[in-house]
Amino acid sequence: MRRIFGSTTGLFVAIAIALSLSGCGYNDLQRQDEQIKSAWSEVLNQYQRRADLVPNLVNTVKGYAAQEQTVLTEVTNARASVGSIKATPELINDPDAFAKFQAAQAQLQSALSRLLVVAENYPQLKSDQNFRDLQAQLEGTENRIAVARNRYIKSVQEYNVTVRSFPTNLTAMVFKMDVKPNFSVENEKGLSVPPTVDFAKQPASPAPAK
């Protein structure tokens, strides 16, 4: 009899705890945390796709513009900097590590933009089929990065609001679920307008004198 009563009491306690956690937003916090992890995985996937394009892009440009060593080195070094950062799941909970990650990705994007501007001076390079394929892939990847970043930004915003709101902030405190760092965007509209890299529509510039 005591066992039955004890097990029944334990069941009621478990149900009470479950209802309490549900009412305090615990389930919402867990759901939103999973959304962030999923969105972050897609961000990493698209950034990796961009990094994977760099070696072929650099080698193709080098075949026509080897003298542009400065910008080629900048791109190579920027890719190395990105690769040196371990994008572990814990990174999205560390503001300093997240800021370094974002800075490295911004550096690579900037270096790639300069490389593509340099390519304008080499008509033969712009007409190379391999280069045209790579620039098309890069443009598509920049679009996917923008979409993935937007999704991540919205997921983190939703989570952070929940963490700061009463009474879920009490639940978050108990389970040590703090606000997460997010991408800082100077011009949020720029996320949906990636850099144009299609030189096919632009008039060919004369090759530089040797």
Q: What is the mean pLDDT of residues 98-103?
A: 94
Residue-wise pLDDT tens digits, 24-58: 789 999 999 999 999 999 999 999 999 999 999 99
Q: Which residues contact 9 (CB under 8 A, 6 or more apart)?
A: none
Phi, psi of 20 (to 5 degrees): -65, -45
Q: Name residue 69's amino acid.
A: Q
Q: Is the dihedral of CA 131, 40, 148, 194 positive or negative?
A: negative
Hey, what CATH topology would domain 44-201 get? de novo design (two linked rop proteins) (1.20.1440)
The pTM of this model reads: 0.77
Residue 147 has pLDDT above 80, yes or no: yes
Residues 6+ positions from 158 with CB-CB distance below 8 Å:
32, 35
The enclosing H or E element of 34 equals helix 26-65
Domain ranges across the chain = 44-201
